[in-house]
């Protein structure tokens, strides 16, 4: 019987490369807290991240972590889960990773509904390359690559995911750790592809969407009387309204996971005995004889 772990048990010895004050610290803390509260064991957690400031998070969570190439964390994670469905698979990446270079994979992960959690650490800029526009930067955002103002409308990732068949959609703010922990825990428990988008301010390059700006520009779904996260139309309505940014769990739906549909009841693939050649294999040659 494993002892109850604390957030510290999910820490690594690697010092963080993030700037002081970065919103990503809040995400990491909430993630460790969630893992501990969910009684997960580090050996059973596969943590896959993308590239960018956010992608570095995989080095800081004590687990089996994989820091892949830019935008491809979701396909990697999908296969990790298929390979060993007993693992708890968590993916983290930034807005650029998930909504720009990895946007295609994002849509298809949503369609497939693998049982995993995807944390999108949204800072509305490209931090690691020093502050260019990102797919969630606001119109008119001034940056090195948009000196005349960002001409591209920001992508509404959660609304896109809902349209594509998303089964769990939530948004948190890195300054609200308690709420974020609850959302992440719920996401991990959700049997399907659970997205938690976290507003995670970049204190160095994004001088528009600051902690102060967020505090003035967010509201909570709990403020909406009788909000029902099983109501897809309402979720779409709330997600696509202009104005202040809603936080909370927008939508929840249960439908079969990718693993359930592809693996059915078979055991975890990684545990199969492949060392002995199955004698049945020889019969396959008869079709060619």
Residues lying near other proteins in the complex (CB under 8 A) are found at 12, 14, 42-46, 48, 51, 56, 58-59, 62-69, 71-72, 75-80, 82-84, 86-87, 104-105, 107-108, 262-263, 266-267, 269-270, 272, 274-275, 277-278, 280-282, 284-285, 288-289
| Least distance CB 60 / other proteins (angstroms) | 9
Residue 247 DSSP SS3: strand
Sign of CA dihedral 50, 56, 60, 66: positive
Q: How far is the CB of 127 from other proteins (least distance, A)?
A: 16
Rounded CA-CA distance 24/121 in Å is 7
Q: How far is the CB of 9 from other proteins (least distance, A)?
A: 11
Q: How far apart are CA 273 and CA 266, in angstroms?
A: 13
CA distances from 55 to 69, 92, 133, 146, 221 (A): 9, 7, 18, 24, 28
**CB closer to other proteins, 82 vs 195:** 82
Task: Kindly tell me which of 64 and 213 has the beta carbon lying closer to other proteins.
Answer: 64
- Residue 194's alpha-carbon distances to 47, 119, 199, in angstroms, are 14, 8, 16
Q: Which is closer to other proteins, CB of 13 or CB of 233?
A: 13
Residue 63 or 206 having the CB closest to other proteins: 63
For the chain, the residue count is 289
Q: How far is the CB of 53 from other proteins (least distance, A)?
A: 13
Closest separation between CB of residue 150 and other proteins, Å? 26
């Amino acid at each position: 019987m494993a002892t109850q772990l604390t957030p510290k048990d999910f820490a690594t010895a690697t010092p963080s490369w993030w700037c002081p004050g970065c919103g990503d610290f809040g995400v990491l803390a909430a993630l460790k807290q969630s893992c501990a509260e969910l009684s997960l064991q580090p050996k059973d957690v596969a943590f896959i991240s993308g590239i960018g400031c956010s992608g570095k998070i995989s080095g800081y969570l004590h687990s089996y972590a994989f820091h892949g190439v830019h935008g491809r964390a979701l396909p990697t994670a999908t296969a990790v889960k298929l390979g060993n469905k007993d693992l708890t698979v968590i993916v983290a990446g930034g807005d650029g990773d998930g909504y720009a270079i990895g946007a295609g994979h994002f849509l298809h992960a949503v369609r497939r509904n693998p049982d995993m959690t995807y944390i999108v650490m949204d800072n509305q800029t490209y931090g690691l390359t020093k502050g260019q526009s990102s797919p969630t930067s606001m119109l008119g955002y001034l940056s090195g690559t948009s000196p005349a103002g960002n001409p591209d409308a920001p992508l509404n990732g959660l609304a896109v995911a809902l349209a594509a068949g998303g089964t769990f959609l939530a948004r948190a703010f890195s300054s609200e750790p308690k709420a974020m922990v609850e959302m992440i825990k719920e996401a991990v428990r959700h049997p399907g592809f659970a997205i938690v988008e976290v507003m995670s301010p970049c204190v160095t390059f994004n001088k528009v969407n600051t902690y102060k700006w967020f505090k003035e520009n967010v509201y909570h779904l709990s403020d909406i009387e009788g909000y029902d996260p099983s109501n897809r139309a309402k979720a779409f309505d709330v997600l696509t309204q202009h104005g202040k940014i809603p936080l909370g769990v927008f939508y929840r739906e249960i439908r079969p996971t990718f693993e359930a549909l592809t693996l059915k009841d078979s055991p975890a693939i990684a545990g199969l005995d492949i060392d002995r050649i199955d004698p049945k294999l020889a019969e396959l040659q008869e079709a060619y004889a």
